[in-house]
Amino acid sequence: MIWYPYQQMKTMKEPYKIIDAEGVFLKTPEREMIDSISSWWSVIHGYKHPVLTEAIKSQADQFSHVMLGGLTHEPVLKLADKLRDFLQGDLDYCFFSDSGSVAVEVALKMALQYYVNQGEMERTKVLSLTHAYHGDTFKTMEVGDDEDYHFILEAYGEKKDVIHVPTQIPALEQAFEMYHQQLNCFIVEPLLQGAGGMRMYDVSFLIKARELCDRYGVLLIFDEVATGFGRTGNRFVADLVQPDILVLGKALTGGYIGHAVTVANRKVYNGFYSDDSDKALMHGPTFMGNALACSAALASIELFEEEDYMSKIYRIEEITRREMAGFTNDKIKEVRMMGGCVCVEVKEADTLKGYQQFAYEHGVFSRPFLNCMYAMVPYIISEEQLVRVLDTMKAWFA
């Protein structure tokens, strides 16, 4: 039997069974519904996209996977070249892995070892945001600040190596003043904190973070597993402010196969580049650089460029702002929008009880969490389909 994610199995309601999917639609035996959350924010081109399907099929005719230890291949070489050109600045060094959590682990490992390699042994701490989410593995849970993991605190007591700050400049300055000698990195989900409650904040905070990291010699990590590939209305937030390490996942392959990448700049890479083998990065997920995943990612990025996806995202934001303008209700705390993300935060989580089934009956798949009803639609959505998603959200409060 299947143990489902984030579920109390005893009380879980039966999941919807998907028998086919195409474009924005998920199909169950009884109806089709618009996937308003793009399979956890990843399926930006929609389902059964002929270009992505073909990329995977033709690679499968060659080989599906070979290990990257001692071997290399065209799809992974091409993807690394593509990312080098696609990303700004000197974010040129790609370490691939099979999921976002692992890619964040790799980024945190890089940041710690970067200093150890230079003999700076006291930089053991990580600065991260309150309400941060960086994945489900142990270190990512620790740098995260998710209520769901507070059992970890109960078991182990106070965190020793992680400091959390809110997205406010004075608090950030204070944290740097206090801890800068012990910090190896500051890790953030830039502009949009997803799983921590769709929280949005201003780029000025990141500009200040870059300045403080430079002043105190601390590495800046952007976890763009969720925000990358246009979700915030920027291709990457890393286009606005340059991190030292960038983590991409989710939409990297258009959501077709799980894969992720930790991209380091030259400075970080050079911190490992040495005649001393002890200074190497010791990591190597079995399925890193999987050929099917790399082929899908290449095709996905090419589509993103050739079909000018940024203009699609601007259109989504424009329609969303138009449709949500002035929408409010006693039960609603705030309606927030950014790029291809809209969130209706309610005052009481109970308000959203039953919404998933309501949405299903209106032909929309939704999965509210915490106090958030939200949509992160596939970018290929039509205006009519998007309006239907937003109307369904509004109708719940009618």
Ligand X SMILES: *Cc1c(COP(=O)(O)O)cnc(C)c1O
Considering the rule CB under 6 A, would residue 117 count as an interface residue with ligand X? no
CB 187 within 8 A of CB 107: yes
- Comparison of 200 and 324: residue with beta carbon closer to ligand X: 200
**250 labelled catalytic:** yes
Point out which span in 6-14, 178-186, 221-229, 291-299 binds ligand X (CB under 6 A).
Answer: 221-229
Identity of the residue, 223 or 396, whose beta carbon is nearer to ligand X in the bound complex: 223
Nearer to ligand X, 132 or 393 (CB): 132
276 flagged as catalytic: no
| C-beta closer to ligand X: residue 246 or 337 | 246
Calpha distance 314→125 (Å, rounded): 38
CA distance 61 to 218: 46
Among 127, 225, 288, 292, binds ligand X (CB under 6 A): 225
- Cβ count within 10 A of residue 339: 21
- Tell me which residues in 151-190 interact with ligand X (CB under 6 A): 189
- Per the annotation, the verdict on 179 as an active-site residue is no
**Is the distance from CB of 369 to CB of 302 less than 8 angstroms?**
no
Residue among 141, 185, 195, 246 that touches ligand X (CB under 6 A): 195
* CA dist., res. 39 & res. 47, Å (int): 10
From the list 171-179, 222-230, 316-324, 326-334, the region that binds ligand X by CB under 6 A is 222-230
Element at 179 (helix H, strand E): helix 169-179
366 near ligand X, judged by CB under 6 A: no
Q: Catalytic: which of 125, 139, 208, 250?
A: 250
Q: Taking CB under 6 A as the rule, does residue 101 contact ligand X?
A: yes
CA distances from 75 to 68, 84, 295, 301 (A): 12, 14, 6, 13
Active site residue 6: yes
Do the Cβ atoms of 305 and 66 come closer than 8 Å? no
135 part of the interface to ligand X, by CB under 6 A: yes
Q: How far is the CB of 262 from ligand X (least distance, A)?
A: 11
Taking a C-beta distance cutoff of 8 angstroms, is the pair 327, 387 a contact?
no
Question: Which tokens hold the place of 3?
Answer: 């143990």
Choose, from 35, 145, 223, 244, the residue flagged as catalytic.
223
Report helix, strand or coil for 96. Answer: strand
Q: Give me the catalytic one of 93, 114, 115, 133.
A: 133
Tell me which stretch binds ligand X (CB under 6 A): 148-156, 169-177, 218-226, 229-237.
218-226
Terminal Cα-to-Cα distance of the chain (whole angstroms): 39
Residue nearest to ligand X (CB): 100
Question: Minimum Å distance from CB 133 to ligand X?
Answer: 6
Binding ligand X by CB under 6 A: which of 23, 75, 190, 194?
194
Q: Does 146 bind ligand X (CB under 6 A)?
A: no
Window 230-259: residues binding ligand X (CB under 6 A): 249-250
Task: Give me 138's structure tokens.
Answer: 């142990």
C-beta of residue 223 within 8 angstroms of C-beta of residue 41: no
Supply the residues annotated as catalytic: 6, 133, 223, 250
Q: Which residues bind ligand X (CB under 6 A)?
A: 99-101, 104, 133-135, 189, 194-195, 223, 225-226, 249-250
